[in-house]
Each structure stands twice: as structure tokens, then as C-alpha cells.
């Protein structure tokens, strides 16, 4: 599939989200950060917003669920029109069943790891996943500094994916910018979420193109 850039709307103007999505026509996906004030100490939006956003754009939506009890709630995001649904393994009771339910609901199934969660215990699950997300900040807020300590895990995840010969994409999220994107790409990531780096810029779509060029270099 190659390099994909997935801007997060977490730091966009919430009063004009449809228009904000229109400012990034070069994006491969739009990353939608769902937070529930339980799994993370912040609150954003739910499936109704995903449904509304999906109606307003042809760019597929990448829903990142930072919520408790994803086993119960995640399939609703696929039904709402998200093309990819990511749950956190730390919150999931039955990640294999959940990944299969997300796929059955018509979306790509993805699993996220917080910075302190190792990838190795989940090696045998990787073929069940369309994408693995290695968080490079503690989830909850945009604009945090990239955690270099996550780079070795990106490398180990890439090695495990290659070992199993699976097509699972490897996404990074948190503090990804023109400063840090090359480090992530060199470690083996191929899908890059960037929030404040994109929506903090005067020309967000130009930053999307610059991130892509830097990751492909
Ligand atoms: C953080 C979210 C990220 C966030 C990234 O919990 O999952 O998607 O929007 O924002 P930046 O790129 O500013 O770190
Ligand atoms: Zn995210």
C-alpha cells in the first residue's frame, strides 16, 4: 500500500469540522479521535459525529477509539461509516472476537498499543488485524511531544509483521511532525497520524504533502 498520511481532526475547529476536512484533500484517511473521559481524561465525539463526517467527505474515516469497553461499542463505528476502526487492547476483553466483529461490520480492524504496552504478547493476533497502531504519546490530547522511547517497539512490531508475512499496516500516532516522521518511517511505520502539525499550519494540505515526502524519502 505504501506510505499513507492520516490527519487527526482533534486539533481542528470543532465548530466547522466538515469544512476542516475539506482543507486536507490530499489525505489518505481522516483520523477521528473518539474519547470517553474514562479510558482517557478527555471527551470528544461518538458514532453520530462519525456518521455525519462520513456523509460529508469521500475520504475514508479512521476511527481511533480511546474508550472503555470497546467490545460493546466498536462495531457501531463501523456501522456509522468508518472505514477503519481501532480499539485499544488495554481496554478490550476479547480482542480476537472484537477484530472479527469489526471486519464483519465492514471496516478494517485495527488494534492500538499505549506506550507502555508491549507488542510481543500479541504476536499471534497480528494476522487478525488490518492495522496495528503504536502510540507515540500517552493517548488523550493533541500537541504532546513525541516519545522516542516508542521507536524500538515500532522496529520490533515491523519485524514481527514481516516474520508473519502479513499485510497489516503499522500506524504511528502522537507527536508526528516534519521533525519526527522520518524516524518513524525508518523504524518501519507506514501510516502516519498527525494532528497539530497539520491543523496548526496555515496550509494543512501542504503539510500533508510534506509529511508524505519526508516519510517516503
Ligand atoms: C492523541 C490522539 C492523536 C492526536 C495526535 O491521543 O490519539 O490522534 O490527535 O495529535 P498530535 O499529532 O498533535 O500529537
Ligand atoms: Zn489518535
Residue pair 21/57 in contact by the 8 Å Cβ criterion: yes
Q: Is 53 helix (H, G, I), strand (E, B) or coil?
A: helix
What local confidence, expressed as pLDDT, does residue 1 receive? Answer: 81
What local confidence, expressed as pLDDT, does residue 166 receive? Answer: 95
- Calpha distance 24→90 (Å, rounded): 31
Say if ligand 1 is within 6 A of residue 196 CB.
Answer: yes
What local confidence, expressed as pLDDT, does residue 149 receive? Answer: 98
Q: Starting at the earlier edge strand, list the strands of the sheet with 84-88.
A: 4-7, 191-194, 169-173, 131-135, 108-113, 84-88, 61-66, 30-35
CATH T-level topology, domain 4-216: TIM Barrel (3.20.20)
Annotated binding site: 8, 31, 33, 64, 140-143, 173-175, 195-196
pTM: 0.98
Which residue's CA is the nearest one to ligand 1's atom 7?
139
Active site (annotated) includes residue 33: yes
- ipTM of this model? 0.99
- Calpha distance 32→216 (Å, rounded): 24
Helix axes 47-55, 70-79, angle to 10 degrees: 20
CB under 8 Å to 214, separation ≥6 — which residues?
178, 181, 182, 185
What local confidence, expressed as pLDDT, does residue 80 receive? Answer: 98
Say if ligand 1 is within 6 A of residue 7 CB.
Answer: no
**Which residues does the chain have with pLDDT short of 50?**
none
pLDDT digits (tens, 9 = 90+) for 79-129: 999 999 999 999 999 999 999 999 999 999 999 999 999 999 999 999 999
In the 8-state DSSP scheme, what is residue 113? E
Backbone angles phi, psi at 192, to 5 degrees: -120, 115
What local confidence, expressed as pLDDT, does residue 141 receive? Answer: 98
Amino acid at each position: 500500500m505504501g506510505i499513507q498520511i492520516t490527519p487527526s481532526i482533534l486539533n481542528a475547529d470543532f465548530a466547522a469540522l466538515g469544512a476542516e476536512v475539506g482543507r486536507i484533500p490530499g489525505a489518505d484517511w481522516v483520523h477521528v479521535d473518539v474519547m470517553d473521559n474514562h479510558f482517557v481524561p478527555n471527551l470528544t465525539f461518538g458514532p453520530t459525529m462519525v456518521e455525519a463526517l462520513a456523509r460529508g467527505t469521500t475520504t475514508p474515516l479512521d476511527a481511533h477509539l480511546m474508550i472503555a469497553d470497546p467490545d460493546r461499542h466498536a462495531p457501531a463505528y463501523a456501522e456509522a461509516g468508518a472505514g477503519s476502526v481501532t480499539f485499544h487492547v488495554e481496554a478490550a476483553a476479547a480482542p480476537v472476537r472484537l477484530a472479527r466483529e469489526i471486519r464483519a461490520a465492514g471496516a478494517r480492524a485495527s488494534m492500538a498499543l499505549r506506550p507502555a504496552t508491549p507488542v510481543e504478547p500479541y504476536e499471534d493476533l497480528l494476522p487478525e488485524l488490518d492495522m496495528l497502531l503504536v502510540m507515540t504519546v500517552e493517548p488523550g490530547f493533541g500537541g504532546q511531544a513525541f516519545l522516542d522511547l516508542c521507536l524500538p517497539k515500532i522496529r520490533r512490531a515491523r519485524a514481527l509483521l514481516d516474520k508473519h508475512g502479513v499485510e497489516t499496516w503499522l500506524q504511528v500516532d502522537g507527536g508526528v511532525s516534519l521533525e519526527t516522521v522520518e524516524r518513524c518511517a525508518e523504524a518501519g511505520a507506514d501510516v502516519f497520524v498527525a494532528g497539530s502539525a497539520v491543523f496548526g499550519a496555515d496550509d494543512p494540505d501542504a503539510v500533508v504533502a510534506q509529511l508524505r515526502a519526508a516519510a517516503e524519502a
